[in-house]
Amino acid sequence: KAGVTQTPRYLIKTRGQQVTLSCSPISGHRSVSWYQQTPGQGLQFLFEYFSETQRNKGNFPGRFSGRQFSNSRSEMNVSTLELGDSALYLCASSHGGTNQETQYFGPGTRLLVL
């Protein structure tokens, strides 16, 4: 079974631009979560989607948004990029039926904001 895939793998943007990242979960998984990883803050939860609905949200500004499609694929968008948004953005998927399920991570999208 194929793992979680994320595209693109690397991205360079300038301040003020917006960016869209994509995630395809493991087949059969209906929950997709997004995390931001930086050297200073570590891994931080952004949001989680299940059946096209945001079920949980972390403590990030409204510039960070996401959505999930009927095939469980998910996208996250960051508008008005800031230098501090440079990070590795990780997507994870799980079956989503309970809150005690293993989340499996993709390789991440490395975003650099100049």
26 pairs with which residues across the strands?
A: none
Compute CA distances 43 → 18, 40, 71, 87, 108, whole Å.
22, 9, 26, 10, 12
56 touching another protein, by CB under 8 A = yes
**Of the listed pieces 11-19, 54-62, 67-75, 76-84, which binds another protein according to CB under 8 A?**
54-62
Q: Which of 48, 81, 87, 93 binds another protein (CB under 8 A)?
A: 48
Q: Quick one: 15 or 57, whose CB is closer to another protein? A: 57
**Of the listed pieces 11-19, 62-70, 73-81, 92-100, which binds another protein according to CB under 8 A?**
92-100
DSSP string covering 83-114: GGG-EEEEEEEE--SSSS---EE---EEEEE-
4 touching another protein, by CB under 8 A = yes
d(CA 66, CA 26): 18
Q: How far is the CB of 16 from another protein (least distance, A)?
A: 28
Q: Which of 30, 95, 90, 18 is nearest to 58 (CA)?
A: 90
Please, are residues 78 and 18 in contact by the beta-carbon 8 Å criterion? yes
68 touching another protein, by CB under 8 A = no
Q: Which residues contribute to the site for another protein (CB under 8 A)?
A: 4, 31, 33, 35, 42-45, 48, 50, 55-56, 58, 90, 92, 96, 99-100, 102-108
